[in-house]
């Protein structure tokens, strides 16, 4: 059966952009249209005489029948709760069109619960919306998705014919609230107050090194907001005041400023037994000293500087070269592993590699060279073994 809206109802619909329709049961009718020959109405008018026939109105529109004042109260509480933020203090609350419970001499067949009536009020309206086809589809499929009939969607879109191409704009009806709930609330909420970071410099630490002296902790503030909403959408939001409940604790970081540079003196680059000195050996020049120890023994930078080689290099095997940038270079050969790369700035005593037996070598040892202005000199003039 089709529902016939009165002129008045239509006027309300036009005003609010809301349409009823599917949510009403077939026997729904409005006061002026109910006739005695409607059997359901006749039956229920008996109840009217004892004053039990309660009808929920939204403005001038009869929505549904409720069983009691208690159900109506539960419904208004539910509506209020839906649009109010938890913990907020409501200072203004207004439902438009106004909701009212009236005793009436006509009725709906079914009695709705507060939950059902709530669903009608918050979703039972219909408003026109735009749907953009995501793929080729039919008007019927789109109508079904929106709970519309094929006739309704055709009437809204007289120019469209199946199949609907991807990207086509199709007018549809969408569920929406039948009421406008305008409310104002005061909400208090806690927010983080971010901590600041203080950087201190320390000349005793090398550049690139840093440590956290104190961890930062966010503070807390409580802000109070006066907020206006219509159906849950924010109309305005004004901060009333804010109080700091916990001050933040700043983060303190110490950064090193000391340059990674040469000290001007050399320390022993490793530990072990001196097995070969600088000078002529087997008819050739031995351009460094050999210090033997087990594979994996730590090799340290004899002084600070920049790593200029860290690669396999013929008879040297795995070789590291450090330019101390004061006229001196040092070389560390036959390594089994590297702990630095070319370009690294190293400090005196820093672990740079591991002893090994790569290249032209018999047994695990370090071949160590000291170079002054590109000429090898006797390392034992600088280190002691
Ligand atoms: Zn050697």
Q: pLDDT tens digit string along 235-260?
A: 999 998 889 999 999 999 999 988 77
Question: Is-contact 55 62, C-beta < 8 A?
Answer: yes
Question: Is-contact 132 166, C-beta < 8 A?
Answer: no
Each residue of 309-360: pLDDT tens digit?
999 999 999 999 999 999 999 999 999 999 999 999 999 999 999 999 999 9
Tell me, what's the pLDDT at 233?
A: 86
Predicted structure pTM score? 0.43
Distance from Cα 307 to the centre of ligand 1, integer Å: 20
Cis peptide leading into residue 97 (ω within 30°): yes
Distance from Cα 341 to the centre of ligand 1, integer Å: 23
Distance from Cα 193 to the centre of ligand 1, integer Å: 63
Please list, in sequence order, all residues whose beta carbon lies within 8 angstroms of the beta carbon of residue 146, skipping any fewer than 6 positions away.
131, 153, 172, 173, 174
Q: Work out whether strand 197-206 and strand 233-246 pair parallel, antiparallel, or are unpaired.
A: unpaired
- Determine the average pLDDT of the residues in 186-207: 91
Distance from Cα 384 to the centre of ligand 1, integer Å: 16
Distance from Cα 360 to the centre of ligand 1, integer Å: 9
What domains can be seen in the chain, in order of their start residue?
7-124 (no CATH), 127-176 (3.10.350.10), 180-258 (2.20.230.10), 273-381 (2.70.70.10)
Tell me, what's the pLDDT at 227?
A: 92
Distance from Cα 136 to the centre of ligand 1, integer Å: 80
Write down the residue that tokens 């019927």 correspond to. Answer: 140
Distance from Cα 286 to the centre of ligand 1, integer Å: 6
Tell me, what's the pLDDT at 311?
A: 96
| pLDDT greater at residue 274 or residue 175 | 274
The three-class DSSP label of residue 323 is strand
Distance from Cα 99 to the centre of ligand 1, integer Å: 100
Distance from Cα 313 to the centre of ligand 1, integer Å: 14
Residue 79 tokens, joined:
């509506």
Tell me, what's the pLDDT at 322?
A: 97
Least confident of 161-165, 337-341, 378-382: 161-165
What distance separates the 2 farthest-apart alpha carbons in the chain? 132
């Amino acid at each position: 059966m089709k529902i016939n809206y009165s002129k008045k109802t239509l006027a309300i619909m036009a005003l609010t952009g809301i349409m009823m329709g599917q949510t009403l049961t077939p026997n729904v009718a409005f006061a002026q249209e109910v006739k005695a020959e409607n059997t359901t109405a006749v039956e229920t008018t008996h109840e009217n005489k004892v004053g039990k026939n309660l009808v929920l109105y939204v403005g001038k529109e009869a929505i549904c029948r409720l069983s009691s004042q208690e159900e109506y109260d539960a419904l208004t509480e539910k509506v209020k709760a839906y649009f109010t933020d938890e913990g907020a203090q409501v200072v203004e609350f207004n439902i438009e069109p106004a909701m009212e419970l009236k005793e009436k001499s006509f009725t709906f067949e079914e009695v709705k619960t507060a939950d059902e009536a709530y669903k009608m009020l918050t979703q039972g309206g219909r408003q026109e919306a735009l749907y953009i086809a995501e793929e080729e589809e039919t008007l019927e499929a789109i109508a079904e998705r929106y709970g519309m009939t094929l006739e309704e969607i055709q009437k809204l879109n007289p120019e469209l014919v199946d199949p609907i191409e991807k990207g086509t704009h199709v007018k549809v009806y969408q569920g929406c609230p039948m009421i406008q709930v305008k409310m104002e609330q005061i909400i208090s909420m806690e927010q983080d107050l971010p901590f600041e970071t203080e950087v201190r410099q320390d000349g005793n630490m090398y550049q690139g090194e840093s440590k956290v002296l104190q961890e930062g902790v966010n503070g807390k503030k409580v802000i109070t907001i006066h907020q206006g909403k219509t159906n849950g959408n924010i109309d305005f939001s004004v901060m009333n005041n804010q109080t700091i409940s916990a001050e933040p604790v700043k983060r303190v970081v110490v950064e090193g400023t000391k340059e990674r540079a040469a000290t001007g003196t050399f320390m022993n680059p490793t530990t072990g037994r001196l097995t070969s000195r600088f000078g002529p050996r087997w008819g050739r020049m031995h351009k460094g000293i050999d210090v033997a120890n087990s594979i994996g023994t730590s090799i340290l930078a004899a002084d600070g500087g920049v790593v200029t080689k860290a690669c396999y290099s013929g008879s040297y095997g795995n070789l590291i070269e450090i330019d101390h940038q004061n006229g001196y270079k040092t070389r560390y050969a036959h390594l089994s592993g590297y702990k630095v790369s070319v370009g690294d700035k190293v400090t005196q005593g820093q672990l740079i590699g591991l002893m090994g037996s790569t290249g032209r070598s018999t047994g695990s040892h370090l071949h160590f060279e000291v170079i002054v202005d590109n000429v090898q000199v006797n390392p034992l003039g600088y280190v002691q073994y």
